[in-house]
Structure 1
Amino acid sequence: MRLRRSLQNSSDSDYSRYRFRLAVSMALVLLAFGTLLTRFVYLQVIQHDYYTTRAEDNRISLAPIAPNRGVIVDRNGVVMAHNYSAFTLEITPSKVPDLEATIEALGQIIDIQPKDRKRFRKLLDESKTFESLPIRTRLSDEEVARFAANRYRFPGVEVQARLFRQYPLGPIASHALGYIGRINTRDLETIAASDQESNYKGADHIGKTGIEQKYEFYLHGTTGYEQVEVDAGGRAVRSLSRTSPIQGNDLTLTLDTKLQDIAEKAFGDRRGALVAIDPATGGVLALVSMPTYDPNLFVDGIRTDDWDQLNNSPDKPMVNRALNGAYPPGSTFKPFLALAALETGKRTASQAIVDPGYFNFGGHQFRDDKKGGHGVVDMYRSIVQSCDTYYYMLANDMGIDSIARFMSQLGFGSRTGIDIEGESEGVLPSPEWKKRRFKRPEQQKWFAGDTVSIGIGQGYNAYTPVQLAMATAALANNGVMYRPHLVNFITDSRSGEKTYIEPQPMRTLALKQENIDTIKRAMVGVAREGTGARAFAGAPYESGGKTGTAQVFSLKGEKYEGGRVREHLRDHALYIAFAPADKPKIALAVLVENGGFGAQSAAPIARLVLDYYLLGKAPKGPASEDATPEEE
């Protein structure tokens, strides 16, 4: 009985444990299925859109399609920069079993240089394997035929037509136009800062200098995309859809390429700069920096020997002298100082001095260029004959603060705002400037003798040719000063709508018209009977001008003789002008580096430019130097 009861209790206990274990097991199974169900609902319902997008991303890739770059033309419709189609040899890496072997085999039938391989490797690192990448550009017809005959040997290799940038005028206006080049790290930073990364996918080139750089985002266009279905290995299977790129906008410039060509040829092999402006709008008619260069060299990556030749040339052809070069203005400064004297009441037009040929001040003798002096000199004669003594005395009487205040209104010593990057400020000297410029206290002190030299455009004076041209244009336009600009209007590539770059008056100077007329009359006298008369003899139009000769190094009291001085130490030659005198249509500034007298080297260039612009008269060659120049 006891045994039966004991066995019964043991059986009940085992059954209870079994039921407990079964319940725990069922609970665990239900928990596991619940977890799986919850995860399933989360993935299939809540996260459905996310994972669908991820799956599509793995299945579909976007291949960017670079847009055609906008065209640049001059004011008369002459093409300055455009695109042309040429054949390229392209490889799609995902379709090529052995990339290295394929490139080596291609090299047996088509000339593939080390620079081509290097460029291809760079593109390969930056691109996806299903994108077609160029290994050789601009194939000749013979090369295309050779590849076509061997095409069956090269799966994944095709000949395709691509657009390339071309500058059909070559070196003409290259400093204004600029050039494009391959995108580098600095360019990528600029693109990122402008929030344009997506629009530059697949792009290889970008504007580097000049108009090409300044108006890059107008010229570039909008990148298109092609949806490509790819397999698990990343190989293209088929094209699903395509969004066509939008071509960049076209630019029409204010430049006259014929005028530009004539101005450049007028320099011959001399270094220098010329800026010609329409006084009524600020439109730049010609922007010359000599020597120039061919922008086509940079389009597909400049060769090392070409770069070394440009970069190491003593003539520095890559420097934009019109905007970046700062030079003493010499006597071209005198008309502006005379205007300042009239406006401030320091001189009247009829007030005269007696010029003995020098001005003594502070124990130093400041000499005039004309030995024995000019005699009795009023303001008209001071400009026409370019009397230094008159301006030594005038600068001393006005004082540097008064001079600096007035000249700053004309734009001297500040950027003009022209639509090209890299413009220099120049130097408008003042006591404040000298304190900022020099570190030692003895160097920071402004001396009265410094002011005397400023009067003839020497001393610390240093201005860019574009500043000098803008000031001349403001004078010609009766004190209304426009911001110089190179782009006339932008044409939308889709609608054809033109957006004009409206002339922007920077300021209207509060000048008395009678004072402006006095200075203009004297500048007309320069071309008619003064230091510019020889260069403008027989001109059927009346122009105003002023010669200038800027000292490069101190003569220490010696007489200047250009033929006995090394070429790079000779004086700079300058000339400013406007014409016609009664209703100016053009104002310009000419600088010839180490050209000697302004009347000898710079004025003849100005004459050729004005003859063409006003008369349509094209010269046959460079401007000839006057063998027996007038002073200045």
Structure 2
Amino acid sequence: MRKQRRSTLQPPRTLKNTQHEAHIFRVRSLLALLVVVLLTALLMGRLFYLQVVQHEVFITRSENNRVRVEPLPPNRGLIYDRDGVLLAENRPTYNLTLVRERVEDLDETLTLLVDILGLSDAEADAFRERARRPQRPYQPALLMSGLDDEEIAELAINRYRLPGVEVEGQLQRHYPYARIMSHALGFVGRINAAELETLDSNDYAGTHFIGKTGVERFYEDELHGKAGVRQVETNASGRVLRELGRTDPEPGQDLTLTIDKDMQALAHELLDGRRGAIVAIEPKTGGILAMASAPGFDTNQFVTGIDQQSYQALQQDIDLPLFNRAIRGTYPPGSTVKPFLALAGLANGEITPEETIYDPGYFQLPNDSRRYRNWLRWGHGRVDMKRAITVSNNTYFYSLAHEMGIDALSDYMHRFGFGERTGLDIQGASSGLMPSREWKRERFGDPWYPGETLSVGIGQGYWQVTPLQLATATAVLANHGQWVRPRLVQKIDDERVDIEQPGTKEDLTLDDQAWWDTVFSGMEQVVSGSEGTARRIGEGLEYRLAGKSGTAQVFSLGQDEQYDAEELEERLRDHALFIAFAPVDDPQIAVSVIVENAGGGSTHAAHLARAMTDAWLLGPDNDELDPDKVLDEADSDDNAMPDTQG
């Protein structure tokens, strides 16, 4: 009984299944092996990808962390006047730059810089705007120019807090004669987003400035040079440790202008705060001796970026100092074109030098009751070509224009360059306007009327010229019809610019060479004859001077109305014009002068032209050349002589 009860209390004993356990072990071992093999394969694959497939990529990245390629901007070429006076130089300065890709938090960095430099709210806004302008990757953005010693010291102290920010020493453009050369020379300024899209990224790497106007813009390729590069080793913070290699930049080429600085300064002094322009050309070479537009402005303000307030002041100035009157200002030429019209009449066989007309003080078209008046209301009586030029007789040139017709007249005036851009290297020049029958039909859809031809015959109506065009045409006239394109640059480095240039207009020829002398004689009598409209400037001449006065109407008068300058607002008064060349037998200078709202050209403008020819032919130190005296005489003549269309 006791054995039986014990057996019922113990669990039944089972045998161990070793085969099953062995199977499980093998399966688990195999799975573990497969996982190990798979992970090993993945690891090896990754190592192969990183070390073999991506070898060049990671080598480059590693090298870039240690070695950096930096651009080296070239030195901009210098600009001199014809006598070697420096007009545009490069002065050393320190600039603040930022590479956005190396800055972790741009807003925080800019806020810190504003605080360090102590910028005002307006300056801070401009500062932030410059930092966010479009820029090529890893190219430094120019934030501020002309840092002083205190600012440089503050930035050096905080350098560890400003990754990607650098203080760079560079050369900056400076214009010693900024105001008198502002329009002719032009200026450089910061490269903008539109220019960035078109510029060669290699040539302009590291360059912050580009020519904006004038010579600086036209000769940008020559002045800029070619950028270089250098390899530098940096630390973990991106600071340069040492230079590993470099390719030096090629500096820009130097320019020597045809402009004479003293002549340019004299032209501005003669304009004396008035609105106007003076252009002087050397007829034999086409070299521009002076090209002044008044008022001018300080171009140095634009180099590093003019502030908004100053720029608005220039834009809103009623005298338009930013407007280049010498090449873009368009005015009716007035009677200054009468010598050219006389040659046109001779060349087209419409008249001879000896033919005369009777001037009762007006001209009438056939079957038209309207009277087109001469400036001298009672007329000049009988006049031939020479006297018509001398006294600036309107009736003679009304008649000549009517006989020629607008088409022939317009075609011949184009041969002198009117209505065209003829300058060789003069950026931004206007073509003016030489009207014709076809032009009016295309412009207004209206026919051309005979009375409009008469207006063109005395340089009024639709006809518009620039001071540069007038001076160019006068130089061609002085050359007996030989064309030389006007230009501003005489030499590029040591290589002279060829006088004979492609695109030069065909020379003018006359059937009788004596016709030139007829026209020149009439122009000489303008300043030397007893009836000359500008006879007051002929006193004491030491050389033969040929000139022609002109008056450009600001508004038209009715048939029976008379012009009274004293009754008009200053800006409604006529413009004064004068052209001249000298000496007549061997021309060395041709001049055009336009003084806005100064009245008759035979008074004010004539004195300015005489002063320019005196300065060039007799030297700037001659006793008669006193700008204050010249202006006093001009003002005296303004009061002494009546305003005329001559």
Distance (Å, rounded) in 2 between the aligned partners of 1:594 and 1:230:
65
2:194 to 161, 186, 190: 186
Give the SS at the match of 2:640: coil
Distance (Å, rounded) in 1 between the aligned partners of 2:174 and 2:641:
43
Answering whether residue 497 of structure 2 is matched by residue 500 of structure 1, we say: yes
Partner of 1:326: 330
CA contact (8 A) 1:130 1:235 kept: no
**More divergent stretch after superposition (611-620 vs 568-577):** 611-620
Provide, for residues 406-453 of structure 1, a one-character-per-residue CA deviation record: whole Å limited to 9, x for no partner: 111111111113423221111111110001111xx4xx1111111111
Provide, for residues 121-143 of structure 1, a one-character-per-residue CA deviation record: whole Å limited to 9, x for no partner: 455445699877765533445x3
Partner of 2:545: 543
**Structure 2 counterparts to residues 363-378 of structure 1, below 5 A:** 363-378=369-384
Answering whether residue 396 of structure 2 is matched by residue 390 of structure 1, we say: yes
Structure 1 position 240, deviation (Å): 2.7
What TM-score do you get using the length of structure 1 for normalisation? Answer: 0.85
Change (3 A) 1:58 1:572: same
Answering whether residue 71 of structure 2 is matched by residue 72 of structure 1, we say: no
Letter in 2 for 1:559: Q
Change (3 A) 1:49 1:134: closer
Structure 1 position 393, deviation (Å): 0.6
Answering whether residue 119 of structure 2 is matched by residue 112 of structure 1, we say: yes
Change (3 A) 1:102 1:47: closer
**Structure 2 counterparts to residues 82-161 of structure 1, below 5 A:** 82-88=89-95, 99-100=109-110, 102-103=112-113, 105-107=115-117, 111-114=118-121, 116-118=123-125, 120-122=127-129, 124-125=131-132, 136-140=144-148, 143=150, 148=153, 151-152=156-157, 154-155=159-160, 161=169
Answering whether residue 65 of structure 2 is matched by residue 62 of structure 1, we say: no
CA contact (8 A) 1:359 1:366 kept: yes
Partner of 1:162: 170
Distance (Å, rounded) in 1 between the aligned partners of 2:569 and 2:402:
33
2:352 to 348, 351, 373: 348
What TM-score do you get using the length of structure 2 for normalisation? Answer: 0.84
Structure 1 position 279, deviation (Å): 0.7
Change (3 A) 1:56 1:458: same
Provide, for residues 10-53 of structure 1, a one-character-per-residue CA deviation record: whole Å limited to 9, x for no partner: x9xxx9xx9xxx9xx99xx89x989989x999997898767755
Distance (Å, rounded) in 2 between the aligned partners of 1:89 and 1:96:
18
Distance (Å, rounded) in 1 between the aligned partners of 2:597 and 2:570:
6
**More divergent stretch after superposition (464-473 vs 415-424):** 415-424
Partner of 2:270: 266
CA contact (8 A) 1:120 1:135 kept: yes
CA contact (8 A) 1:358 1:366 kept: yes
Letter in 1 for 2:641: P
Partner of 1:477: 479
CA contact (8 A) 2:581 2:591 kept: yes
Structure 1 position 92, deviation (Å): 7.8
Distance (Å, rounded) in 2 between the aligned partners of 1:96 and 1:43:
27
Give the SS at the match of 1:249: coil
Answering whether residue 181 of structure 2 is matched by residue 173 of structure 1, we say: yes
Structure 1 position 166, deviation (Å): 0.9
Structure 1 position 384, deviation (Å): 0.3
Partner of 1:576: 579
Partner of 2:7: none
CA contact (8 A) 1:535 1:599 kept: no
Change (3 A) 1:129 1:99: farther
Change (3 A) 1:456 1:90: closer
Structure 1 position 306, deviation (Å): 1.4
Answering whether residue 523 of structure 2 is matched by residue 523 of structure 1, we say: yes
Letter in 2 for 1:498: E
CA contact (8 A) 1:116 1:135 kept: no
CA contact (8 A) 2:103 2:109 kept: no
Partner of 1:3: none
Provide, for residues 365-389 of structure 1, a one-character-per-residue CA deviation record: whole Å limited to 9, x for no partner: 1011112210110000000010000
CA contact (8 A) 2:131 2:142 kept: no
Distance (Å, rounded) in 1 between the aligned partners of 2:377 and 2:86:
53
CA contact (8 A) 2:142 2:208 kept: no
Provide, for residues 211-254 of structure 1, a one-character-per-residue CA deviation record: whole Å limited to 9, x for no partner: 11111121112222222345788665654323222221111100
Partner of 1:437: 443
Give the SS at the match of 1:549: strand
Give the SS at the match of 2:472: helix
Partner of 1:561: 564
**More divergent stretch after superposition (621-630 vs 202-211):** 621-630
Partner of 1:600: 603
Partner of 1:494: none
Distance (Å, rounded) in 2 between the aligned partners of 1:322 and 1:101:
46
1:449 to 448, 451, 458: 451
Change (3 A) 1:92 1:115: farther
**Structure 2 counterparts to residues 609-628 of structure 1, below 5 A:** 609-616=612-619, 617=622, 618-621=625-628, 623=631, 624-625=634-635, 626=637, 627-628=639-640
Superposition RMSD on alpha carbons, in Å?
Answer: 3.4
Letter in 1 for 2:202: S
Partner of 1:7: none
Answering whether residue 430 of structure 2 is matched by residue 424 of structure 1, we say: yes
**More divergent stretch after superposition (502-511 vs 309-318):** 502-511
2:311 to 307, 311, 324: 307
Distance (Å, rounded) in 2 between the aligned partners of 1:46 and 1:514:
88
Partner of 2:463: 461
CA contact (8 A) 1:95 1:130 kept: no
Structure 1 position 532, deviation (Å): 1.6
Give the SS at the match of 2:277: strand
Letter in 2 for 1:445: P
Structure 1 position 508, deviation (Å): 1.3
Give the SS at the match of 1:226: strand
Distance (Å, rounded) in 1 between the aligned partners of 2:398 and 2:414:
20
Letter in 2 for 1:266: L
CA contact (8 A) 1:117 1:135 kept: no
Distance (Å, rounded) in 2 between the aligned partners of 1:468 and 1:416:
11
Distance (Å, rounded) in 1 between the aligned partners of 2:395 and 2:480:
28
Partner of 1:335: 339
**More divergent stretch after superposition (91-100 vs 252-261):** 91-100
Distance (Å, rounded) in 2 between the aligned partners of 1:100 and 1:393:
73
Give the SS at the match of 1:507: coil
Structure 1 position 358, deviation (Å): 0.6
Distance (Å, rounded) in 2 between the aligned partners of 1:390 and 1:353:
7
Distance (Å, rounded) in 2 between the aligned partners of 1:212 and 1:452:
42
Distance (Å, rounded) in 2 between the aligned partners of 1:208 and 1:345:
48
CA contact (8 A) 1:255 1:284 kept: yes
CA contact (8 A) 2:116 2:155 kept: no
Provide, for residues 26-82 of structure 1, a one-character-per-residue CA deviation record: whole Å limited to 9, x for no partner: 9xx89x989989x99999789876775566456543222222211111001111111
Give the SS at the match of 1:266: helix
Structure 1 position 112, deviation (Å): 3.1
Structure 1 position 359, deviation (Å): 0.7
Change (3 A) 1:560 1:228: same
Structure 1 position 160, deviation (Å): 5.2
Answering whether residue 397 of structure 2 is matched by residue 402 of structure 1, we say: no
CA contact (8 A) 1:120 1:134 kept: no
Distance (Å, rounded) in 2 between the aligned partners of 1:150 and 1:322:
46
Answering whether residue 641 of structure 2 is matched by residue 629 of structure 1, we say: yes
Distance (Å, rounded) in 1 between the aligned partners of 2:524 and 2:315:
42
Letter in 2 for 1:548: G
CA contact (8 A) 1:95 1:235 kept: no
Q: How many residues align?
A: 594
Provide, for residues 165-215 of structure 1, a one-character-per-residue CA deviation record: whole Å limited to 9, x for no partner: 111112012111111111112322442xxxx22211222111111111111
